[in-house]
Amino acid sequence: MNKDYIYLDHAAATPMDPLVVDAMLPYFSEKFFNPSSPYAPAIFTKREYQDAKARLARCLGVMADELIMTAGATESVNLAFNAANGVSLISAIDHDSVINSAKARSEVKLIPPMKNGRIDPNVVKKMLTPDIGFVSVALVNHELGYIQPIEEIAEIVKAERLRRQENGESLPLIFHTDASQAAALIDVKIKRLGVDLLTLSAAKVYGPKQVGLLWVRPGVTLKANIFGGGQELGLRSGTENVAGVVGFATALELAQKRRSAEVKRLRKLREELVKDLRQAFPDMLISSDMKKSLVSFLNISFSGIDAERLVFLLETRGVLVATGSACAANSGTRSHVLASVGLSESEIDGSLRLTLGKLNDDKNIKRAGEFIIEAVQAEMKRTSR
């Protein structure tokens, strides 16, 4: 990538940390062995793979044999929904991978969010009827950045599960969360969250793409999606991606060490960016809740302006931004997330998702603000003719 670009799309992809690359490189050359082979070098490679899983487990506060390694968050989500029975209760603002996985397997009911993007636990409680067998709410929303009250929702799910057990009702109740957008800046301790299944992606924590995991609470029954040699407890067959899992473990450990300082740094950068933009555009809509969203997220809207044109104009100025999630943008449809929180079509069409990260600093955020102001003012002038 041109080093002069200002990258404001860390929610779509993060660059691999150089220390992650260094940790992975040996497994592309001298440690290339298949972990299932019977000779000493392969056995040693398998031990290092198992050690990497143990490192991931320590970061998450769980046991290594509870982790199923996958080829990314979408696969993990699809595997999680194999535990679904009955009707699935899903956040209306979750990622397409969650909503579409649910729809492919069962009837789906969508939990409407509040205007700020919060999923209200009381609404979940009211919607948790006896026919619901699976609940899924992302820990951090992928467009607004809202940090959801997962622990509160988990308590409600547990209470309903206990009620069913006491009344002899046979339908199990499982709670899943996709924590992919959270782990770089939130200490994801699974037992504290109280969920039954948790999805994570290496690609969102400055690790390699196409590497993910699904944590499975002991006692939860899953069916495999991929069949073959029986790797990952028979739930995800295929030769283990040793390099990828070592990279994932290294990335998550680095995120834990740097998290506190990075949260403070990004909060300051976001505040400065908002200050500059608000000064230029007092009527600018900020859809991200500045107190309850992840500090790296800023979703803004300029009603009457075509955000797709803004993306193009900003790229010509060296600023890379998004209008929403990269996956949804490819579909050519309006954001279901922004529609669900009540934005008008004009506001949705004028929305930009800015997500900050390691590639940002005081200098390039200041420049980004200036370029965004220039681009928006140019579009306002063009559309007012």
pLDDT confidence of 113, banded at 50, 70, 90? very high
Instruction: State residue 330's pLDDT score.
Output: 52
Reported as a single tens digit per residue, the pLDDT across 293-351 is: 999 999 999 988 999 999 999 999 999 999 964 445 555 678 999 999 989 999 999 99
Instruction: State residue 193's pLDDT score.
Output: 97
pTM tops 0.85, yes or no: yes
Sketch the domain layout of the chain as residue ranges: 6-15+259-383, 18-254
Residue 327: active-site member: yes
Question: Strand 108-111 vs strand 87-91: parallel, antiparallel, or unpaired?
Answer: parallel
Q: Which of 327, 329, 373, 378 is catalytic?
A: 327
Rounded to the nearest angstrom, the gap between the alpha carbon of residue 119 and the centroid of all alpha carbons in its chain is 16
Instruction: State residue 326's pLDDT score.
Output: 44
Token pair in block for residue 6:
């200002």
Among 149-158, 269-278, 337-346, 358-367, the least confident range: 337-346
pLDDT confidence of 98, banded at 50, 70, 90? very high
Q: Per CATH, the architecture of 18-254 is what? A: 3-Layer(aba) Sandwich (3.40)
Question: Strand 87-91 vs strand 132-136: parallel, antiparallel, or unpaired?
Answer: parallel
Instruction: State residue 327's pLDDT score.
Output: 47
Reported as a single tens digit per residue, the pLDDT across 210-227 is: 999 999 999 999 988 888
Residue 384, pLDDT above cutoff 80:
no
CATH of domain 6-15+259-383: 3.90.1150.10
Residue 284, pLDDT above cutoff 90:
yes
Instruction: State residue 385's pLDDT score.
Output: 65
